[in-house]
Structure 1
Amino acid sequence: MAVAKNDETTKGYEDLRGKVFTAKTGSEGETYAESIADKYGFTVKSLDQSATMYELVKSGNAVAVIDDYPVLAYGIAQNNGLKTVTEKVPSASYGFAVNKGQNSDLLAAFNDGLAKLKANGDYQKLLDTYLKEPAASSSATSSFWDLVVQSMPALLSGLGNTLLVTVISFAFAMLLGLFFGFLKVSQNIVLRGVATTFVNIFRGTPLLVQAFFFYFGIPQLTGQPINIWVAGVLTLALNSGAYVTEIVRGGLQSVDPGQLEASRSLGLGYLTSMRKVVVPQAFKIMTPSLINQLVILLKDSSLLMAIGFAELLYQGQQIYSNSFRISETLLIVAVMYFIVIMARTKLSNIVDKRFNK
């Protein structure tokens, strides 16, 4: 168990009564914490990342944390602001897993390699390097600007992926929105029903659930893996497409019906009237809402982090998971998002003003 470095009152589990104790979701530490929670009178708050748990303790929202010793010891060696106050709890060892009945060659190679590492002493050297006792650590925390410089290559790579997936997804969302938007104003009840069903499904379910379904669910249903870029674009395009559909519908219906009637009375067909008279006026009305939807889509792309897509926030998570400097890393990420969104908003507003002169 570890507590904040400046905590001089918490020496053991008996000091946790009435307080919050954090552990990693699904871990042996969580199981152990829950098994003794009633005895010592503390509340267990489970989180899914070590760095987040440590930040919870440092912020005072939890008093202590239990985690796998290799991870905890490494974090303390990196001066993450914690210290251990109890002995290690006996638990099971780490394991290397493969699909049952498959990859036997890989499993054999791994076991053979591990045996060789132990035999030649390299295994112990690794332990000594990364699992040194916290008291023996003399690592100094680098400055904020050092963190910025060190993390910038990874963050810029993530930003590039964020911008690219946003642009591709918005292009498809526009196509879907235009298609289903026209169906929504169709005189055919069946076509309107199809468009309404599309909107209800993708606007009525959480984006994160959709991402999980496309990346994890579809491969289980089809037996074929799906590329993470394909899953990401599908998720964002379909979800955003549902909102664009309503923007298009609203734009078309906001044009005075007399415009369509007048053009039809002049001999223009329905499609020609829509293309030459209604749509140009509707698009001017829709432009601000479309710009807003683009900004929303850019921010929503961060949810793809949950399926392992290497966008900006995902890269930030990888950085603070190793450096244990979560607040500073997220500040850098937030500033990058802010700069990009402000720049895109300004550019979009310029285009909007010129287009709607």
Structure 2
Amino acid sequence: MIVGLIWGMVIGHPTRIFAQDNPSGTTKTLVMATSPDYPPYEFKDTATSGEKIVGFDVEIAEYITNKLGYNLTVIGMDFNGLIPALTAKRADFVMAGMTPTPERQKNVEFSDIYFEAKNTIVSFQDQNYQTIEQLKGKKVGVQLGSIQQEAVKNWPDVIVVPLNKTSDIIQELKSKRLDAGVLENTIVKGYIAGNPGLIYHEVPNTEAAGSAIAFPKGSPWVQPFNQVIQEMKASGKIEQLAQKWFDRPVVTTETPEVPHGTGLKLDFNKIYSNLPYILAGIFITLQFSLVSAFFGFLWGTILALFKISTLKLLNIFSQGYTSIFRGTPLLVQLTLIYFATPQLTGYDITAFQAGILTFSLNSGAYISETIRAGIQAVDKGQKEACEALGIQYQLMMLDIILPQALRNILPALVNESINLLKDSTLVSVIGVEDLLRRAQIVGAEKYIYFEPLIFVAVIYYLMIMTLTWGANQLEYQLKRSS
């Protein structure tokens, strides 16, 4: 019953989405993938809209799909996972302020350009870099996979530092690890308003600029989307939406200006209205951790029994399995399972299911070694006594050997559970809105960095301390009963 309940949580998770590949299909839904940490293109106004992704790109997508007679579903993930999501057919199209570079065009198709923007150099006022020539020999931050990265590669004698998010560029700049950053002029105003002491200057584009919609190769949607884009340009609709989103006032909490390099100034009032959104991630994080720990323990127990089995085939399988899952990074396993499963099997595995499967398989490999050691640490006389009394092997393991082994390895199992809870932050890479992902989204929305991350760090610490206290109480009770 417990297994059925937990598995129902896994397969019944509401994030499952099916992308539609056929325009003549009966299901009137198109799936758009984006990275909701790039205001005002796409972001979450978590204090008001909560889970909903909003922004310039989203409103354009809603207009186009409505014109074509379809509903729109928007899913979020990291920017560098958007192209893999298309090739894995996890989405019908991508909108994320993305420019159709030659490298990207090798893997996906693009619509016509729907909006053009300029690049800017961001630096501190006392440095005030205004031209490309001034950046010779300087460390310049760009977003990984962005058109800014391609542009800065061609700037003479510039040291390019790719980072995962635009907010990371600002933070590295404030930490003095970068001399400057290159951001799009449509988003830079918010970061300037939220970070006193910074200044920006527009520079000529050295690469083909402009945002377009990305589609899988052979997508039937390219031409219909292009027709609506041209209609929107002709009617002035895109310009109207650009004014609505790019000229909107940036709401920030006023804090005293901090001179360059004088220290860190924190203001948690900035995230007060976003706390309900962040705290909702606790349930998702615990859901991942508890379900993965449950299945990981079951699978680890089975693997441990395989390792001590007299059947050579089971020994070879369990040892090889453990070697693979302990010898490869958990993040690689997670992304492979999430992006490769639809292509290899045709099954549209959700991010929740991919996370549970990955963490369970990975945790099982580690737990199996712990349980094996615990079983082998039980006095051999226990086994010999059972054999002398004619007790079946299965009953001996379940009723006598395993309970004693678990009592001995409880601290190691607790340590694995703590690691699992902390490692659950990796699911943010595939777009799951756990605590870490929600903190990053709030940080992007408010153009800040430390406050949301410090807040979730405290939450993680409290959860781990609670788990440790519970394990200590259980261990105390087991010692008393032994």
Return the TM-score normalized by structure 1.
0.89
For 2:408 and 2:227, the matched residues in 1 are separated by 63
Q: Deviations over 1:122-164 (max 9, x none)?
A: 335325524x8xxxx7954467232342221121111210001
**Who is 1:107 aligned against?**
225
Give the distance between the partners of 2:238 and 2:396, measured in 1 at CA: 81
Task: Report matched runs for 1:160-179 at 5 Å.
Answer: 160-179=283-302
2: CA distance between counterparts of 1:104 and 1:180? 49
RMSD (Å), alpha carbons: 2.5
Deviation at 1:105, TM superposition (A): 8.5
Q: Structure 1 vs Structure 2: percent identity of aligned residues?
A: 29
Cα 1:182/1:208, change in 2 over 3 Å: same
1:68 aligns with 2:184: yes
Q: Residue 280 of structure 1: CA displacement? A: 1.7
Residue aligning to 2:148: 29
Q: Which residue is equivalent to 2:357?
A: 234
Indicate if the aligned counterparts of 1:79 and 1:141 stay in contact, CA closer than 8 A. Answer: no
Please give the alpha-carbon distance, in whole angstroms, between the structure 1 residues aligned to 2:305 and 2:246: 66
What is the deviation of 1:270?
A: 2.5
More strand by share: 2
Following the alignment from structure 1 to structure 2, what is the Cα–Cα distance between the partners of residues 12 and 259?
78
Partner of residue 245, structure 1: 368
Residue number in structure 1 paired with 2:166: 50
C-alpha offsets along residues 236-264 of structure 1, whole Å, 9 cap, x if unaligned? Answer: 11001111111110110111212211222
- Gap runs ≥5 in structure 1: none
**Matches of 2:203 and 2:312 in 1, distance apart?**
70
In 2, Cα distance between the equivalents of 1:203 and 1:117? 58
How many Å separate the matches in 2 of 1:96 and 1:209?
A: 28
What's the secondary structure of 2:353's corresponding residue? Answer: helix
Larger % of helix: which? Answer: 1
Residue by residue over 1:157-186, the C-alpha shift from the partner in whole angstroms, topping out at 9 and shown as x without a partner, is 112100011111111001101111111111
Query: Residue type matched to 1:13 in 2?
Result: I
Partner of 1:186: 309
Shift of 1:354: 1.0
Amino acid at match of 2:210: S
Cα gap change, 1:51 to 1:172, in 2 (>3 Å): same
**Alpha-carbon distance in 1 for matches of 2:295, 2:371:** 14
Q: 1:13 aligns with which of 128, 132, 141?
A: 132
Question: Counterparts of 1:106 and 1:78 in 2: how far apart (Å)?
Answer: 39
1:97 and 2:214 are equivalent in the alignment? yes
Distance 1:129 1:272 in 2: 72
| CA 110–152 in structure 1, closer or farther in 2 if over 3 Å, else same | farther
Change in CA separation of 1:80 and 1:89 when aligned onto 2, cut-off 3 Å: farther
The verdict on how the C-alpha distance between 1:259 and 1:128 changes in structure 2, with shifts beyond 3 A counting, is closer
Are 2:247 and 1:129 equivalent residues in the alignment?
yes
* Cα contact 2:296–2:364 (8 A) shared by 1: yes
Q: How does 1:306-345 map to 2 (within 5 A)?
A: 306-345=429-468
- Residue-pair matches, total: 349
Q: What is the SS of the residue equivalent to 1:18?
A: coil
SS, match of residue 142 in structure 2: strand
The one of 407, 422, 425 equivalent to 1:302 is 425
Q: Are 2:271 and 2:442, in contact at CA under 8 Å, matched by a contact in 1?
A: no
CA shift, 1:56, in A, is 0.8
CA distance in 2, matches of 1:282, 1:120: 66
For residues 150-229 of structure 1, the aligned pairs below 5 Å read: 150-229=273-352
**1:145 corresponds to which of 265, 268, 279:** 268
